[in-house]
Structure 1
Amino acid sequence: MGCRISRSLLDAIRQESAIVAPEEACGLLFGTTAQIDGWTPARNVAEQPERRFEIDPATLFAALRAERTGGAALIGYWHSHPSGDPTPSRTDGAMAQPDGKLWLILGSEFRLWQAGKAGLHGRFEEVPIEID
């Protein structure tokens, strides 16, 4: 089963990634595992933001609080790889929880992954993505 995303949403995330480069940009994804219909940027609070990402906890906690009170469902995360490779790194694998969340990674192209207990780095399975 795949997941859909609108071209305008994907373009907006790409724009945000370009603004932040050469650091890794990051943020949150909202919708369902079948349809990404929202996103938000987050500050990258990693000690070496040019090599890894860490989503600002304040942004994450605000999204989780909003979800609990009827807001948009947090379905995953997005981040950029300024190196151009949209494949999860070993660091991504070590950071990811096996919680089924989606990971959209942007490089010279983009790919969508789902965090679980198997796959690349013992954590990621690729998810087909369709652009509306």
Structure 2
Amino acid sequence: MILRLSSNDWQQLLDWAESAGDAECCGLLRGVKGRVASVTLTENVAPDPRRNFEVNPAALIAVHKDARAGGLPLLGYFHSHPNGLAEPSASDVALAAPDACFWLIIAERTITAWQPAVINGRVAGFTPITLTVEG
């Protein structure tokens, strides 16, 4: 599996992660067939945004409504690990939805791509996937 991201979106994600400081930034990826067409920064509504992320539910609902009306579908999520590695944490595994969405994790000016490994309707971990930056 390959996920494609534009160089402009790559840089935007790095900038948002840096601007968030010690808090985790987060947001939504929209696109089709493994190609990210847009990235949207959302509010991190987690009780402790320095340790976890939670995409603002209103933003997530708005994306789903827009997709049903013919807009780009939700392709995945992104978030930063300001004091960690660019790989899923135990919290990410515990809080992940058992869907087929991609995850981008940003840490130390690195972005990695993942998909949830779902077993019996539960996320058991994440599988790394190839992230290609284009243009």
TM-score, normalising length: structure 2: 0.91
> Which runs of structure 2 are paired with 1:57-68 in the superposition (5 Å)?
57-68=57-68
The 3-state SS of whatever aligns with 2:76 is: strand
Q: What is the root-mean-square deviation of aligned Cα atoms in Å?
A: 1.3
Q: Which amino acid letter does the alignment assign opposite residue 30 of structure 2?
A: F
Q: When you count strand as a share of all residues, which structure comes out higher?
A: 2
1:127 and 2:129 are equivalent in the alignment: yes
| Structure 1 CA distance for aligned equivalents of residues 129 and 33 of structure 2 | 10
Identical-pair percentage: 35
| Runs of at least 5 residues in structure 2 that lack an aligned partner in the other structure | none
Structure 2 Cα separation of the partners of residues 32 and 89 of structure 1:
27
How far the C-alpha of 1:83 sits from its partner, in A, is 1.3
Q: Matches of 1:62 and 1:87 in 2, distance apart? A: 28
How many Å separate the matches in 1 of 2:42 and 2:92?
17
Does residue 107 of structure 2 align to residue 74 of structure 1? no
TM-fit CA distance, 1:4: 1.1
**Helix, strand or coil for the counterpart of 1:130?**
strand
TM-score by length of 1: 0.93
- In 2: Cα distance, 1:112 partner to 1:8 partner: 17
Question: Helix, strand or coil: the match of 1:44?
Answer: coil
Which contiguous aligned blocks of 4+ residues in structure 1 show a shift greater than 6 angstroms?
none
Q: How many residues align?
A: 130
Amino acid in structure 2 at the alignment position of 1:116 = A
Contact 1:84 1:106 (C-alpha < 8 Å) held by counterparts: no
Q: Quick check: 1:116 aligned with 2:135?
A: no
Alpha-carbon separation, structure 1, partners of 2:117 and 2:32: 16
